[in-house]
Chain A
Amino acid sequence: MAADLTRRSAADLAQALRSGEVSSVEVTQAHLDRIAAVDGAVHAFLHVSTEDALATARDVDARRAAGEELPALAGVPVAVKDVVVTKGMPTTAGSRILSGWVPPYDATLVERLRAAGMPILGKTNMDEFAMGSSTEHSAYGDTHNPWDLDRIPGGSGGGSAAAVAAFEAPLAIGTDTGGSIRQPGAVTGTVGVKPTYGGVSRYGLIALASSLDQAGPVTRTVLDSALLHEVIGGHDPRDSTSLAEPLPDVVGAARLGLTGDLTGVRVGVVRELDGEGYQAGVRDRFEESLDLLRGAGAEVVEVSCPHFDYALAAYYLILPSEASSNLAKFDGMRFGLRVEPTDGPATAERVMGATRGAGFGDEVKRRIILGTYALSAGYYDAYYGSAQKVRTLIQRDFAAAFEQVDVLVSPTAPTTAFKLGEKLDDPLAMYLNDVATIPANLAGVPGMSVPNGLVDGLPVGFQILAPARADDRLYRVGAALETLLEQRWGGPLLAQAPELPTAAPEGSQP
């Protein structure tokens, strides 16, 4: 019974809770038991909030028993990436500098999860301050890919993707600055969505690059992503970049897509995101998925976005610049770590240097130095300014492409999951993971990764991009592709994942 509950989709669980088949306490406990059994091997979680989750579950069960009308996902548990602040629950962003910090407030999206009656299972591992594509830059150890524990789960949100792929949570929250929701989705066989910039409030997200960051759903099915998107999305007056318009009907679009019919939908294959650097198997799966879309009635054409070739270079300039500014607040004065210099006077300035020297990891230091350089007097226009011009050109590419087609598609990541440690000493090779996902962040458009098969036993993802504010298109096309692929596979892709080694249940004797 308990094992069955963790395998079910959030939509199924919500239905079972509504019908009284199961209680939220049972569902939540089943996931806590699964975490206890497998997280020793996966290490998706930095903190498990057992008491908080069960308290929410009990409350929801009591309200349901009293006949109260509850939100759609009430009682369905969720895991939250550790870059999102949670009142009363430790939040570290994967950094030593925030070790043990307990925020005094909730992010807007966390308030919405709580208001929806969703038990929060805990906080998931990530690259420090979301800088990375493998979760190896966490100060708290690596997360392991449930498909092969020797491999990376992607990053920066490897913890959220691995938690969902390992059936430790039906739903999770991720954040995506250059692909940190979509690339982990691709390499773990899960669904990940980066909404339109401004579609989900950034209030309470520990900022990496404010003009690129966006939070979104991490799930096992497209419909589940839509349901979670609906909970966390929508206008927030506390985020001045939050969009005022109501969210499009993403749940309706997902349900429409599940019919498997895409008649009249125009799909554009981005020429610049398919070719050199893409593993042969990744391209094979991509071509097969295109055939399925054609079979469903979609019109598939090739489009060119010539400036996408410059996206990575622009990203190298914009991200470190914004990050170096955002991370200035970690100064050892008001929260987190404080380290005093070993000799000389302990002035505020010297304490700040010592604290940041000891509290930040290598990749964070590297990017702060890069950003400080790019923003230095005399370089600002040539560096940050030029990169911003590239953003304009990439937006124009998207605008021109979306005049011809409804959605754009590409492989999500150029390769399957690599081995832990394999690219750690080669930052450039690491960054290439995000070559297909970065343009969406630069332009603010929404993107989704849907699992579309295996290569040598490892999952790959199919990326769908839509115009800004048209997130519903992702869900229609994504759900259609998912349903057609599952007909071929005879079930979800994750049903093919190997069984994980489990720890003995607590209290059992050897």
Chain B
Amino acid sequence: MSTISREEVARLAALARIDLSEAELTRLAGELDVIVESVAKVSEIATADVPATSHPLPLTNVFRDDVPVEPLPVADVLAGAPAAEDGRFLVPQILEED
């Protein structure tokens, strides 16, 4: 019995901007219990008095001198783009029209 429904997977896929087929939605719904089990496991010891660690070796206020350097050549960067025009990335329409 899956704890994360097919509908929930569809909602997450929309949030993550991944088009999934019907078959993928069904299969993934059956595979996501691992996360619920993992949460149950870590909750056994993750009590309020334990501080969280976000990075293994804490470093704070990492600065470097603000030195201008040559940027990457525009042509080199655009060479890897799916589409380009006039020295810029060419992207699909951003806003839907009414």
Known contacts A354-B19, A357-B19; is-contact A347 B92 (Cβ 8 Å) = yes
Residues of B within 8 A of A348 (CB): 91-94
The interface-forming segment of A263-271, A313-321, A486-494 is A313-321
Contact of A352 among B17, B38, B42, B79 (CB under 8 A): B17
A369, B96: Cβ atoms under 8 Å?
no
Identify which of residues 1-17 in chain B touch chain A, using a CB-to-CB cut-off of 8 Å: 4, 8-9, 12-17
| A34 interface residue (CB < 8 Å to B) | no
B20, A365: Cβ atoms under 8 Å?
yes
Contact of A393 among B4, B17, B45, B77 (CB under 8 A): B45
Known contacts A313-B42, A357-B19, A428-B34; is-contact A388 B59 (Cβ 8 Å) = no
Give A426 Cβ to nearest chain B Cβ, in Å. Answer: 10
Give CA–CA (A373, B32) in the complex, Å. 9
B16, A372: Cβ atoms under 8 Å?
yes
Give CA–CA (A385, B50) in the complex, Å. 11
Q: Majority SS of interface residues in chain B? A: loop
Give A194 Cβ to nearest chain B Cβ, in Å. Answer: 12
Give CA–CA (A101, B51) in the complex, Å. 42
Q: Majority SS of interface residues in chain A? A: helix
- Chain B: residues with Cβ within 8 Å of the partner, total of 56
B24, A390: Cβ atoms under 8 Å?
no
Known contacts A389-B46, A395-B56; is-contact A353 B81 (Cβ 8 Å) = no
Residues of B within 8 A of A338 (CB): 82-83
Chain B residue at smallest Cβ distance from A370 = B35
Residues of B within 8 A of A345 (CB): 93, 96
A365, B18: Cβ atoms under 8 Å?
yes
Known contacts A333-B82, A345-B96, A373-B32; is-contact A392 B53 (Cβ 8 Å) = yes
Give CA–CA (A82, B37) in the complex, Å. 33
B80, A103: Cβ atoms under 8 Å?
yes
Residues of B within 8 A of A198 (CB): 57, 59
Give A400 Cβ to nearest chain B Cβ, in Å. Answer: 15
A243, B57: Cβ atoms under 8 Å?
yes
Contact of B82 among A332, A356, A372 (CB under 8 A): A332
Give CA–CA (A317, B32) in the complex, Å. 12
| A382 interface residue (CB < 8 Å to B) | yes
Give CA–CA (A154, B67) in the complex, Å. 42
Chain A residue at smallest Cβ distance from B56 = A444
Identify which of residues 369-426 in chain A touch chain B, using a CB-to-CB cut-off of 8 Å: 369-370, 372-374, 376, 382-383, 385-393, 395
B45, A307: Cβ atoms under 8 Å?
yes
Give CA–CA (A320, B12) in the complex, Å. 13
A347, B93: Cβ atoms under 8 Å?
yes
The 8 closest A-B pairs by CB, nearest first: A444-B56, A357-B19, A338-B82, A388-B52, A313-B41, A104-B76, A386-B46, A389-B46
Given contacts A104-B79, A346-B93, 6 further A-B contacts (CB under 8 A): A104-B77, A211-B54, A338-B83, A353-B18, A373-B4, A391-B53
Residue pairs across A and B with Cβ atoms less than 8 A apart, 9 shown, are A104-B77, A196-B57, A317-B39, A317-B42, A328-B17, A376-B15, A383-B35, A393-B50, A444-B56
Give the interface of A toward B (CB within 8 A): 101-105, 196-198, 211, 237, 240-241, 243, 307, 310, 312-314, 316-317, 320, 324, 328, 331-338, 340-341, 345-354, 356-358, 360, 362, 365-366, 368-370, 372-374, 376, 382-383, 385-393, 395, 427-428, 441-445, 468
